[in-house]
Structure 1
Amino acid sequence: MDYQLNTRLNGNIAMTSRFHENKPLQRDKTLYKFLWVQSGTLAIEVDHIPMKLAKDEIVTLTPLHHLTIKEVAGEFLTFVFNSNFYCIYGHDNEVSCNGFLFYGSSRVMRLKLSEEQSSNLHDIVRIFRQESAINDNLQEEMLRIVLKRFIITCTRIARARFGVGQENERTFDVVRRFYVLVDQHFREKKQVQDYADMLCRSPKTLSNLFSACGLPSPLRIIHERIDAEARRLLLYTRKSAKEISAILGFEDLAAFSRFFKKMTGESVSEYRKQAHREELPTVTE
């Protein structure tokens, strides 16, 4: 079942099982996305990185991510919304997903649902469909409430995966705030000390927190975010390496080239040529 609502203030929310056939939704670069495989498998590329999802797996994507549906061998549900419908930044205290479910690195959140978790999300989808059939002046707000419930449920599932409980909730919130700050400042701030100062913590404390959560080091997080942006600019724009170097805040092209080679094992020109040689096959079902 497909449903889409566009509000007077350019808010957009949609739920569809045919996202791979919906060209307007695919072209909309403002959407946050939940992709949930409900049967079979789904092969996708996120920022040119291949990924194959199985039944009851969910990935969460920001408007920054470039999504390509490669092969549909089953059924999947896509739940999308933009910031004009529900702003996760402005309502961070309500859903606590910014910098956690939704973050700009190409290392996207991937959740495997238990039977109980899948059932809970199916219940929310059922409520969404019921509310989408009631066309009155309360519909928009009711759909916003259902969306919040879906986001919060996925946030809880992700927290359980990382072992976040009441005893370490505040600690993990520091980690999440670090991700948010990196998303905002990675172009001009590239040292852990920069973010430690903003969080009123020491770099060593941050490293210990990330280690305790089984996450890459804070410096690695910063580098991965810069790397993701560099790849997007190389893949999806015509900007020169020199222009990209300036956009990402490197002092010169040589510094950017060294960074990119260290992160990818390829030179900037090799990466761009190789990516553009690869053909994207048509979606099959």
Structure 2
Amino acid sequence: MINYALHTRLKGAIVLTDAFHADPALGRDRSLYKFIWVRSGTLRLEIDHVETTLEAGEVVPLTPLHRIAVREVAGDYLTLLFNSNFYCIYGHDDEVSCNGLLFNGGPETVRLRPDAARTAALYEIADKLAGEYAIEDSLREEMLRILLKRFIITCTRLARERFAVAPGKEKAFDIVRQYYVLVDEHFREKKQVQEYADLLNRSPKTLSNLFAAYGLPSPLRVIHERTGAEAQRLLLYTSKSAKEIAALLGFEDTAAFSRFFKKTAGESITGYRRKNKHAAPTSQAR
């Protein structure tokens, strides 16, 4: 069994475990970024109440916003978790370039499928992480941070390949990443693409062309999806009223929020909450 954790004096945390489903405290910790890597068999999850089955070899990065319920473990998987006090992806974006690519608060998760070479690299990093936990000296924390960065960078490269980001074209793709980051920060008060285009010193048309080139949803849809994802989380995981949620998300009134939710989620606020609210998370392993 793999279950290693380091907690620093500054409340940093990094955890490596093959039994995330058996540790409720980890599931409840709302500060942790996660990489879930299925090494054999399958893993059935609910991510924000959307069921998905990960196949052998797949890696999924998740933010602290995502709520996860492990429904069935039919194989072997590894979870690498860390918080911003251990390694801040915002402050070190120039090192790993993952913010807005691997991690954003929207409803879509990035499913990575490494080839044999990248799989071998991930195994090597995981083995070194496990080995480093056994060394109790003043250098352990920094070595774990370096290995975490290697894991993140490997996954960043996989994500770039998935979106066909050609070598030398990373700076153009960085505009897309920055857009996702800005939407995460400002979706409550900024609802128009023009507002984000101004922040990026680009035109809305340029942004639309960039997103289309990488096969991504339109910039306006990104705003709507991020707002919709937040609305669903607030409806499912808080007791706030529709009126309170409408105010939090920057809608003029409850009616405007209701129309938006019906259009994006395909059902009424009341119907969505009734259908999903009591779907209790469970974990199974076999």
TM-score range, shorter chain: over 0.9
Query: Scaled by the length of structure 1, what TM-score is found?
Result: 0.98
Q: In structure 1, give the amino acid aligned to 2:53.
A: K
Sequence identity (%): 60
* 1:160 equivalent in alignment to 2:190: no
CA distance in 1, matches of 2:283, 2:14: 27
- 2:15 matched to which residue of 1? 14
CA distance in 2, matches of 1:237, 1:284: 29
Shift of 1:278: 3.9
Spell out structure 1 runs of 4+ moving beyond 3 A: 277-282
Shift of 1:219: 0.4
Local SS of the residue matching 1:167: coil
* Structure 2 runs not aligned, ≥5 long: none
CA distance in 1, matches of 2:186, 2:109: 19
CA distance in 2, matches of 1:167, 1:137: 38
- 1:251 matched to which residue of 2? 252
CA distance in 2, matches of 1:135, 1:168: 42
1:257-276, aligned counterparts within 5 Å?
Answer: 257-276=258-277
- 1:177 matched to which residue of 2? 178
* 1:32 equivalent in alignment to 2:38: no
* Structure 1 runs not aligned, ≥5 long: none
CA distance in 1, matches of 2:282, 2:144: 36
CA distance in 2, matches of 1:67, 1:180: 22
- 1:151 matched to which residue of 2? 152
- 2:3 matched to which residue of 1? 2
Spell out, residue by residue over 1:108-153, the C-alpha distance to the aligned partner (whole angstroms, 9 max, x if none): 1111121221111101111111211111000000100000010001
Structure 1 residues 39 and 94: alpha-carbon distance in aligned structure 2, compared to 1, 3 A threshold? same
Q: In structure 2, give the amino acid aligned to 1:237.
A: T
- 2:195 matched to which residue of 1? 194
Shift of 1:83: 0.3
Q: In structure 1, give the amino acid aligned to 2:84.
A: S
Moved more, 148-157 or 108-117: 108-117
Spell out, residue by residue over 1:189-222, the C-alpha distance to the aligned partner (whole angstroms, 9 max, x if none): 0100000000000000000000001101000101
1:205-284, aligned counterparts within 5 Å?
Answer: 205-278=206-279, 280-284=281-285
- 2:143 matched to which residue of 1? 142
Spell out, residue by residue over 1:151-200, the C-alpha distance to the aligned partner (whole angstroms, 9 max, x if none): 00100011011111223211100000000000000000010000000000
CA distance in 2, matches of 1:142, 1:282: 33
Structure 1 residues 153 and 76: alpha-carbon distance in aligned structure 2, compared to 1, 3 A threshold? same
Shift of 1:277: 4.9
Shift of 1:40: 0.6
